[in-house]
């Protein structure tokens, strides 16, 4: 009989928002200081010892911080879900959400009114962002690689924990864009499908040694091929390829119920091996040059294939099976009892390559959209983020309340947005906004605030607009309430230039919505009941 433990009573916390102020402002301070290209690193470590994490990414910070306040738990979970989906704009979402809560909480207006109005304001924002007039969007021109490069570069530079210098960032950005271009099909059909880019992480080499090659690399444990490396070709000068996804180890492990009785002197293992060698014979007859098996190949069969100048690669693993069939056009075979020549594929060439200490078989296709990015770095995670970001760019009343309340809530909403923008500056420098475009301008610290701005500033924060006399700057300071811009922002004058800072629009758009929705959710909490069992 199991031991019974008395259940603990549930913990009841009423008005959780009254106790959240202090932890919330601490969290805002942490997040704000990480924000933007000039964001500061955080060192996270456990006092007991162990792994030390240096980061400025929201996913790492929120993942490692142990948050105990129930309200902040909701907030961090929400931001982490956003990040896991878009891998970008996590800090933006978190800071905006925190400052919305902070500002709304101080208003002393019924939460349902706040929620109603902030929903209304959010819809105004999203409508504007989606509209053609929106000055925040820069459409990516795929015939001009500069924009793509800018986007990739912005993401790389906003992650200082990667410890990349400028040349390395440029080199990686070019490689990533190159890899992306490889995956775009040359002969677009009605519904073009992007190909695959397989990353091969290599540690212990310089970042500048990274490279992109067309085709696929399959890692092999050792150089097991005859030297000089040569591959058998068919009469049409192509290499015939067969891919097996079934085990060729000769083991019998069909999980069938019931019993198999074997007569004396009969070995099913021998029977299985005979069949494997039959397969080998047929492969030789069919002029196959390369055999790749997802699982293990029996040593005898391997030797037989080698003797007949067929390259055999086993233990390829499930992950390469899909790009492998894309590269070769072959269909993975699941039975050693029937080999249909229709499953064979072909390659232009096969080579043996080695990078650093690793050995690879390099499959070179005739014409496919698969490429391999050999990323030499200490950090293996950045690439995923980059790819998601590249891909997402390619896919791109009557409210019942008094006018005063409306004004107050709208102010709080705008201040929250502005405070996110203000957190871009970390050295005490001033932040200005211009009345023509509504863009953000950063003043380096140490200059008197009354100086002539147009002499001091050359380009706005994102790099689209250049400084002119008539821009009419003013301070952007959330604490003092700023006068609204009267006219609609003008269309940006500048064309896409070299060093712009760009964000992924889809991620930002989603982050804005998630932040407001989460803030509304938290504001509506009147008590927290925690099951302590």
Partner 1 sequence: MAACACRHQSATGDGAKTFVLLLAAVLGAMREGSPRRAARALPAFERRVLERAVARGLRPHLRSAFPAGGPGEELEAAALEALLEAYLRGRLGPGERRAVTLLGCELCARCGARRPPALRLLCGRFAQLHAAAAGLPLARSRVLPGVLLRRDFAAYCPAGGRLRAVLVTRCLRPVLTGPGVECAVRSERQHRAALRWCGGRTEAVMEHLRSGGVRLLLSGVKQHEEVIFYAKLHGVSVVECLSSEEVALISEIAGISPYDPAGDSVQGEIAEAAVVTFCQPLLLGSQRYVHIGFSSAGAFQPHCLVLCAPVDAINEQHAATLHGAFTMLLQLFRAVDQECGAEGESQNSASGVGSGYSPATETRVVTESIACGSSQVSEHQLGACRGETAAQSSDLALQESERPDGTPPASAPGPHSKELSVCTDGADSAGTHKLPALCECPDGMNESHRRQQAVCSHRNYCTAVASTATLCEHLGVGKGPEKAGYGVTQSCPSSILEAGSVLPVGGYFEILLHYYIQHYAKQVQQSAVTVISNVVADALLSIPKALYGTERNGFTKFYLETTEALRKNQPLPVNEKGLESVYCKYQLVTSVLHCVTELLNIDLIIGVKRPLQKTEDKDSDDDF
Judged by the rule CB under 8 A, the positions of this chain that interact with partner 1 are 4, 74, 77-78, 80-86, 111-112, 115-116, 119, 245-246, 254, 256-263, 266-268, 270-271, 274-275, 331-335, 337-338, 340, 342-343, 510, 513-514, 517-518, 520-521, 524
Q: How far is the CB of 187 from partner 1 (least distance, A)?
A: 18
Contact 197, 183 (CB under 8 A): yes
Contact 453, 493 (CB under 8 A): no
End-to-end CA, the chain = 20
DSSP classification of residue 421: H
Q: Which of 486, 434, 478 is nearest to 460 (CA)?
A: 434
Report the relative pairing of strands 349-355 and 52-55 from DSSP bridges: unpaired
Shortest Å distance, C-beta 260 to partner 1: 5
Q: Give me 265's structure tokens.
A: 């002197």
Decide whether 189 or 222 has the Cβ nearer to partner 1. 189
What are the DSSP E strand ranges found in 294-430?
A: 311-313, 345-347, 349-355, 358-364, 371-376
CB of 481 to partner 1, least distance (A): 26
Q: Which CB, 210 or 330, lies closer to partner 1?
A: 330
The least distance separating partner 1 from the CB of residue 158, rounded to whole angstroms, comes to 20
Give least dist CB 208 to partner 1, A: 33
Closest contact distance (angstroms) between CB of 143 and partner 1 is 29
Nearer to partner 1, 78 or 465 (CB): 78
- 338, HSE (Cβ side, Cα atoms, 13 Å): 2
d(CA 231, CA 347): 11
Tokens of 442: 């950063």
Q: How far is the CB of 87 from partner 1 (least distance, A)?
A: 11
In whole angstroms, how close is the CB of 97 to partner 1 at the nearest point? Answer: 9
Q: Are 215 and 304 in contact (CB under 8 A)?
A: no
Report the residue number, 152 or 245, with the smaller CB distance to partner 1. 245
Q: Which residue, 244 or 441, is less far from partner 1 as judged by CB?
A: 244
Question: Of the two residues 52 and 266, which places its CB atom closer to partner 1 in the complex?
Answer: 266
CA angle 467-473-479, nearest 5°?
Answer: 140
CA distances from 507 to 73, 89, 128, 424, 482 (A): 22, 6, 16, 18, 27
Give the CA count within 13 Å in the CB-facing half-sphere of 48. Answer: 0
Q: Between residues 335 and 454, which has the closer beta carbon with respect to partner 1? A: 335
- Strand pairing category for 440-442 and 473-475: unpaired
Nearer to partner 1, 274 or 286 (CB): 274
Give me the phi and psi of 369, to 5 degrees please. Answer: -110, 25
């Amino acid at each position: 009989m199991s031991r019974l433990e008395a259940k603990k009573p549930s913990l009841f916390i009423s008005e959780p928002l009254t106790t959240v102020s202090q932890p919330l402002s601490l969290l805002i301070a942490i997040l704000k200081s990480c924000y933007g290209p000039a964001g500061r690193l955080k060192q996270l470590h456990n006092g007991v010892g162990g792994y030390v994490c240096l980061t400025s990414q929201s996913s790492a910070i929120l993942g490692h911080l142990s948050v105990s306040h129930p309200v902040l738990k909701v907030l961090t979970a929400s931001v982490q879900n956003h990040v896991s989906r878009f891998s970008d704009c996590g800090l933006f979402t978190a800071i905006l959400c925190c400052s919305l809560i902070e500002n709304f909480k101080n208003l002393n207006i019924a939460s349902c009114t706040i929620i109603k109005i902030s929903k209304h304001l959010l819809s105004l924002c999203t409508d504007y962002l989606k509209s053609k007039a929106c000055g925040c969007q820069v459409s990516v021109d795929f015939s001009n690689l500069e924009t793509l490069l800018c986007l990739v570069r912005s993401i790389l530079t906003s992650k200082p924990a990667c410890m990349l210098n400028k040349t390395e960032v440029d080199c990686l950005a070019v490689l990533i864009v190159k890899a992306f271009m490889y995956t775009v099909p040359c002969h677009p059909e009605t519904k073009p499908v992007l190909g695959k880019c397989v990353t091969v992480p290599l540690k212990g080499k310089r970042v500048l040694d990274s490279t992109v090659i067309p085709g696929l690399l399959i890692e092999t444990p050792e150089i097991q091929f005859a030297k000089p490396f040569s591959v058998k070709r068919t009469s049409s000068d192509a290499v015939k390829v067969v891919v097996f996804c079934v085990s060729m180890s000769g083991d019998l492990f069909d999980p069938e119920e019931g019993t198999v009785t074997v007569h004396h002197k009969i070995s099913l293992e021998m029977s299985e091996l005979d069949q494997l060698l039959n397969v080998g014979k047929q492969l030789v007859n069919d002029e196959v040059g390369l055999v790749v098996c997802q699982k293990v190949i029996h040593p005898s069969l391997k030797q037989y294939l080698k003797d007949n100048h067929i390259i055999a690669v086993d233990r390829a693993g499930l992950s390469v099976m899909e790009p492998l069939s894309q590269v070769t056009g072959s269909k993975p075979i699941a039975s050693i009892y029937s080999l249909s020549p229709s499953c064979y594929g072909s390659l232009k060439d096969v080579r043996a390559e080695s990078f650093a200490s690793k050995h690879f078989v390099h499959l070179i296709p005739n014409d496919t959209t698969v490429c391999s990015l050999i990323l030499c770095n200490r950090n293996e995670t950045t690439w995923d983020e980059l790819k998601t970001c590249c891909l997402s760019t390619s896919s791109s009343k009557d409210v019942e309340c008094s006018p005063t309340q409306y004004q107050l809530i709208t102010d709080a909403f705008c201040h929250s947005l502005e405070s996110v923008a203000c957190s871009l500056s970390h050295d005490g420098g001033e932040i200005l906004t211009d009345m023509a475009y509504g863009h953000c301008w950063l003043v380096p610290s140490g200059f008197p605030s009354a100086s002539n701005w147009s002499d001091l500033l050359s380009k706005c924060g994102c790099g689209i607009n250049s400084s002119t006399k008539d821009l009419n700057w003013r301070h952007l300071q959330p604490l003092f309430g700023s006068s609204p811009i009267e006219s609609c922002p003008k269309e940006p004058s500048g064309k896409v230039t070299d060093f712009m800072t760009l964000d992924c629009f889809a991620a930002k758009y989603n982050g804005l919505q998630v932040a407001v929705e989460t803030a509304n959710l938290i504001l509506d909490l009147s008590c927290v009941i925690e099951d302590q069992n």
